[in-house]
Amino acid sequence: MNKVVFVTHNKGKIETAKELLKEVEFEVYEYELDEPRSDDINYISKQKVMEAYQVVNKPCISMDSGFWIDELEGFPRAYVNFALDTIGIEGILKLMEGKENRKCRFTECLSYYDGKELHQFMGKHEGILASEVLGRDTEKKWSDLWYVYKPYGYDKTLAQMTDEERRTRKKYGSINSLEEFAKWYKENEK
């Protein structure tokens, strides 16, 4: 099998990849990719992996994710970093004060590009939004949203959960794009 390069600067994504891509030989190239302004995480992920390939000139993966809050008509969607940089977690919680519908979800798209073909793998993680910041910092954290996102089937935020609880949440319908990619890669790459 060829080695795949994961181009990212997100330490949490790197830690998760180390855990979930055990059967894929990969290396990390820490680099902050440009993020095009779009509401479409598939498009953003595609653009990022194409840029990543130009940087490393090897088969590579890149990911993009978004966060949708039903009561806020999907806000912040693919603009998670912008929302966190401007209004922050406290601002998001303020927007949700007095709201009963707290359904939300992470969606993610992992793109793989080998210089010829692009393959994309989707992930989705349903949950509810906590009413306050809960939990502790962890090296596996992808985003500060981990302090307010409670996966479906749990009454804890990701920041409150053990590693084992985070791993087993797929039994509640969670689909992880890294796992989807690992399955495909094992079956299709020589």
Q: How many CB atoms lie within 10 A of CB 137?
A: 10
Round to whole Å and give the CA distance between 102 and 65: 19
**What was the pLDDT predicted at 171?**
61
Kindly name the residue from 39, 64, 114, 155 that is annotated as catalytic. Answer: 64
What is the CATH number for 33?
A: 3.90.950.10
3-class SS of residue 157: coil
pTM of the model: 0.88
Question: Which residues face 63 on adjacent strands?
Answer: 110
Which regions of the chain are under pLDDT 50?
Answer: none
Note the pLDDT of residue 15: 81
CB contact set of 82 (below 8 Å; sequence gap of 6+): 76
Per-residue confidence (pLDDT) for residue 170, from 0 to 100? 62
Tens digit of pLDDT for each residue in 51-104?
999 999 999 999 999 999 999 999 999 999 899 999 999 999 999 999 999 999
| Predicted local confidence at residue 24, as pLDDT | 85
pLDDT of residue 14: 80
What is the C-alpha to C-alpha distance for residues 145 and 129, in angstroms, rounded to an integer? 9
User: Three-state DSSP class for 7?
Assistant: strand
CA 131 to each of CA 72, 89, 153, 188: distance values in angstroms, whole numbers, following the listed order: 15, 11, 17, 44
Domain that holds residue 100: 4-188
Is 85 designated active site? Answer: no
Q: How many domains does the chain have?
A: 1
Residue 149: the pLDDT is: 95
Give pLDDT, residue 190.
57
